Amino acid sequence: MSKKTMDRYLKGDANLEEISLKTLKKIKELSKKVTIQADPIHFSLIFELITEQDSDLVQKINTLITNHSYDHHSAQILFTYLWKKIIKRHTPYQEFSFILEELLEDINIWVEKSANSNRILSNKMHTISDMTRAENALEYIKSEIIPNLKESQQDTLKLRNNVEQITIEVNSLKKELNEATILARTDELTGLPNKRNFNEFLSKSIADKTTAISLVAFDVDFFKFINDEHGHIVGDNVLKYLAKIFKEEIKGRDFIARIGGEEFMLVLQNTDIYSAKKLAENIRLKIEQSKLHIKKTTQSIKLTISAGIALYRQGEAIEDFIDRADKALYVSKNNGRNKVNTEADLL
């Protein structure tokens, strides 16, 4: 259990008699206006009201009381709200139904167990109402009612503890899910988004009706020769090196992915084709001017890339959009490589 939650209930235990008396007094006051009893639901809510631990909940309860709308039905809604708030505070992924079912089972057990306590408290509250002397009523509360309230509080505290234990399980599953999701959407070699991630991002950009989406297809020149001449380890290092350059040159909402082999795709949102060409030229030039040194040798590799650019046309299929970028890339490849061409060069 977290320290914050423990402090909250330890504080309640330290002043249990005083707070319980105030709670019962408030319930009795309300019972003169509406038909309610000191059952676990009302006791929990009025206890929260008295201790003022949750300002949002206190405001909701006070509003209902002020508007003469506090009754058993509204209390049930607030009680459900209270538990949902506790759960959602730590469990953002509600799809873990099997864990939540376990939690609901704990709550059902708590409700069933509190039913008997509810009946006992109800009977004893009637007994207090019949008493004429305040001293007798106070003594009766201390000897008969407070022990029942302590037991109910212990059961409630146990349930809260179960909630937090389940929270730990959910957070653990969430972490595993996030890690699995990242792995499924990331190229293992370069650390860039993979083809699946690229397809999702491009689809979302189009669905969001982002204006001026430019797509740049990059391809490493003579990559097969590099692999054949220097080996696949060096080839892998080339791809990782290029990924590093892409990350350095691409900022903000721009999205770069390795979609397979030596091909990369860059999605530029709110970018016209001329601005996209300027950025692609800067990247091409930076790669052309750099050299990748081969470890444990005096050799270095001079790298170049080719690029093709297309601008999204409203309503067209994603496949057609990608195809135009690829065709512009082939123009660069067929005209000496180490170039940047756009769809305008297809005409």
Would residue 262 show up in a list of annotated catalytic residues for this protein?
Answer: yes
As a dihedral over the C-alpha atoms of residue 12, residue 18, residue 19, residue 24, rounded to 10 degrees, the angle is 140
**CA 343/CA 347 separation, integer angstroms:** 8
* Residue 341: burial class (beta carbons within 10 Å; 0-12, 13-18, 19+): buried
Q: Between residues 193 and 111, which one has the greater pLDDT?
A: 193
Q: What pLDDT sits at residue 11?
A: 44
Q: Is the pTM of this model over 0.75?
A: no
Would you call 220 helix, strand, or coil by DSSP? strand
Tokens describing residue 273: 């084709």
Answer yes or no: is pLDDT of 282 > 80: yes
Q: Using the predicted structure, report yes or no on whether residue 182 has a pLDDT greater than 90.
A: no
Q: Of 105, 262, 263, 281, which one is the catalytic site residue?
A: 262
pLDDT at 244: 94
Residue with tokens 């309610």: 36
Single-letter code of the amino acid located at 16: L
The DSSP code for 193 is B
Closest among 46, 11, 51, 45 to 26, alpha carbons compared: 46
Angle 40-51/55-66 helices, nearest 10 degrees?
Answer: 110
Domain limits of the chain? 3-183, 195-346
- Out of 44-48, 125-129, 214-218, pick the least confident: 125-129
Task: State what percent of residues in the chain have pLDDT above 90.
Answer: 34
User: Looking at 77-86, 197-206, 297-306, which range is the least confident one?
Assistant: 77-86
User: pLDDT above 70 covers what percent of the chain?
Assistant: 66
46 against 282, higher pLDDT: 282
Which residue, 176, 257, 182, is CA-closest to 215? 257
CATH class, 195-346 region: alpha beta
